[in-house]
A = this chain, B = another copy of it.
């Protein structure tokens, strides 16, 4: 049960599949947020385990979650950046209310020493995808 949503963003097309979700009637501009987290070094392994579980679940069960990329800065491994792409702002609000996100926040709350959230606007979201139309 794979459905496709083609998101036109500027000159480039981001094509992503939504598994088991509704498909928006019209292409939309995705909602992008960047999180910069500083993690208590002694808790880093547990934090990474928690964020893996949270992201895995979100991508699997939330139609509005297009991508959640969590990476560690190579030179500061306890500095975690999460690049988040949702179908729209509403999908982000839905995400915040899910049980898996609430569990993640509760589990990791004391592991996070600082948190910076940056709203962003897509300029171009280019990705390889099976559904990408040839040009």
Contact = CB atoms under 8 A, between A and B. Distances in A.
Interface of A: 2, 4, 10-12, 16-19, 32, 34, 48, 51-53, 55-56, 58-60, 65-75, 77, 80-81, 83, 85, 118-132, 134-135
A127 B12 contact: no
A18 B128 CA distance: 6
B130 A52 contact: no
Given A73-B119, A81-B120, A118-B73, A11 B56 contact: yes
A80 B120 CA distance: 9
| Copy count, this protein chain | 2
B127 A52 contact: no
B69 A126 contact: yes
29 contacts: A2-B130, A10-B52, A11-B53, A11-B56, A16-B129, A17-B128, A17-B129, A19-B128, A32-B69, A52-B124, A56-B126, A59-B132, A66-B128, A68-B124, A68-B126, A68-B127, A69-B122, A69-B126, A70-B125, A71-B123, A73-B118, A73-B120, A73-B121, A74-B118, A74-B119, A74-B120, A74-B121, A83-B83, A130-B131
